[in-house]
Amino acid sequence: MTQLSDAITGLLESFDLPGGGTLLSRDMIRAMRVEGGRVSFVIEAPSPEIARQMEGFRAVVEARIAELPGVSSASVVLSAPTQTPKAPSLKIGGHAQPQQGRMIPPGVKKLIAIGSGKGGVGKSTVSSNLAVALARAGRKVGLLDADIHGPSQPRMFGVSKRPASPDGKSIIPLSAHGVTLMSIGFMLPEDKAVVWRGPMLMGALQQMLMQVEWGELDVLLIDLPPGTGDVQLSLGQKSEVDGAIVVSTPQDVALIDAKKALDAFATLKVPVLGMIENMSVFVCPGCGLESHIFGHGGVATEAERLNLPVLAQLPIDLDTRLAGDGGAPVALGEGPMAQAYAKLARELIESGAV
Ligand SMILES: Nc1ncnc2c1ncn2[C@@H]1O[C@H](COP(=O)(O)OP(=O)(O)OP(=O)(O)O)[C@@H](O)[C@H]1O
């Protein structure tokens, strides 16, 4: 740095701002130029209101800069972000911030996690449809897509807008089909892989739970990543999950992993509300023949062994797949799958779980 730059930095450090810190420590200086003896820069205030209040301060800073040896002219301008919502500061790879207390979004009455051991068993499909069915039953529902490595909810709800952030910190969730929605998928390009370590995942989860303005919700469903990794661990340890639902297909490999997911919830002391068997049977639309493509009865046996209810048995269903891919979950309609999800929602409400 030149002598003049040093002198400018020293001067800027000498002004304490109300509320603590300096223009430099609070990162409010923009477009600094020192050319010959001409100095110019912008002070960016957090809001137009604060910019107005800082006018006297700006004039003092400008005058003091002009007095520095070697300065021929000084121009200090105040600016503030416009009121247009700007992109949230959900920085990729941000670490969890230290915070007091636990990650419990204010205004949310119940947190329900939806997990699976294995990927691809239909956990996100079940989450989206259950969210829609609960909303249709009159519940105020939020859905947090915490499947950080493979967020599917933007596609399943047909929304991919970047959420707004009026102050650059709080994030306004999106809303689709009566459900308040947030997904890491809204913040990243679809083809961008998330390669994060544990603390970064924790940071992202913390931001999605606590920076998002969820508002008043009867229930926030959390679509977990498959398996028993860092997101499950953080959620179990740092939040208060009221209940978990484990989705599995009847297939042995899926069930082995589902048992691990159940075991993880038990370790984290998260009460399991029950299991959902997805893709339990395929009924041929031509002849009505039932085929148990992924096996039969495995989920019921496991649930019985653990004294857990089987909350639903959902068949392999083309409409479910098409509706999910098309951005309008099948539970929005009137057909048999919509009825099955409506029944699941009703029973969860009646049991007091949501
Ligand atoms: N009952 C069903 N009938 C037909 N297709 C289904 C059914 N359930 C899910 N699918 C389809 O299976 C695929 C995987 O489902 P989904 O993404 O919900 O699984 P997942 O367990 O969340 O996967 P991942 O863990 O990889 O995110 C999707 O294409 C979905 O539409």
Residue 99 maps to a domain? no
Q: Are 279 and 315 in contact (CB under 8 A)?
A: yes
Q: Are residues 255 and 183 in the same domain?
A: yes
Tell me the C-alpha to C-alpha distance, in Å, between residue 197 and each of 20, 134, 193, 267: 34, 34, 13, 22
Q: Domain for residue 155, yes or no?
A: yes
**How many residues are listed for the chain in this entry?**
354
- Which CATH number goes with the domain that contains 27? 3.30.300.130
Is the model's pTM score more than 0.90? no
Span from the CA of 207 to the centroid of ligand 1 (angstroms): 26
User: Please, where are the H alpha helices in the chain?
Assistant: 3-14, 48-53, 55-66, 123-136, 153-157, 198-210, 230-238, 252-267, 298-305, 318-326, 336-350
pLDDT tens readout for residues 131-189: 999 999 999 999 999 988 789 999 999 998 888 888 878 899 999 999 999 998 887 77
pLDDT of residue 100: 44
Looking at this protein, which amino acid is placed at residue 8? I
Q: Give the tens place of pLDDT for each residue, 243-288.
A: 999 999 998 778 888 888 998 898 889 999 999 999 999 988 889 8
Mutate to test the pocket of ligand 1, among 125, 128, 283, 316 (most ligand atoms within 8 A of CB): 125
Q: Give the chain's radius of gyration (CA, Å).
A: 26
Distance 324 CA to ligand 1 centre (A): 8
3 SS3 class: helix
Same domain, yes or no, for 61 and 137?
A: no
The gap from C-alpha 274 to its chain's centroid, in whole angstroms, comes to 24
Give me the number of domains the chain comprises: 2
Quick check: 194 and 184 in contact, CB under 8 A?
Answer: yes
Q: Strand, helix or coil at 212? A: strand
Clarify whether residues 133 and 246 are in a common domain.
Answer: yes
Q: How far is the CA of 64 from the centre of ligand 1 (A)?
A: 65
Q: In CATH, what number is assigned to the domain containing residue 172?
A: 3.40.50.300
152 lines ligand 1 (CB under 6 A): yes
Shared-domain flag, residues 14 and 141? no
Residue 52 and residue 174 in one domain = no
Rounded to an integer, what distance in angstroms lies between the CA atom of residue 113 and that of residue 351? 17
pLDDT band at 91 (very low <50, low <70, confident <90, very high): low
Is any ligand 1 atom within 6 A of the Cβ of residue 119? yes
Contacts of 197 (CB under 8 A, 6+ apart): none
Distance CA 314, CA 320 (A): 10
Same domain? 62 vs 150: no
Based on the domain organization, do 63 and 112 belong to the same domain? no
**Structural domain includes residue 94:** no
ipTM score of the complex?
0.98
Burial of 97 (0-12, 13-18, 19+ CB in 10 A): exposed
pLDDT tens track for 21-36: 899 888 888 878 888 8
Q: For residue 94, give the 3-state DSSP assignment.
A: coil
Mutation pick for ligand 1 pocket among 291, 321, 322, 325 (CB with most ligand atoms within 8 Å)? 321
Q: How far is the CA of 165 from the centre of ligand 1 (A)?
A: 31
User: 321 is in which domain, residue-wise?
Assistant: 108-350
- What is the per-residue pLDDT across 203-238, written as a single tens digit (0 to 9) for each? 788 888 999 999 999 999 999 999 888 888 888 888
C-alpha span between 212 and 347 (Å, rounded): 29
CA dist 173 and 22 (Å) reads 33
- Whether 229 has a binding-site annotation, put simply, is no
Which of 6-20, 70-84, 136-150, 221-235 has the least mean pLDDT? 70-84
For residue 193, how many C-alpha atoms fall within 13 Å in the half-sphere facing its CB? 2
Both 311 and 162 in one domain: the answer is yes
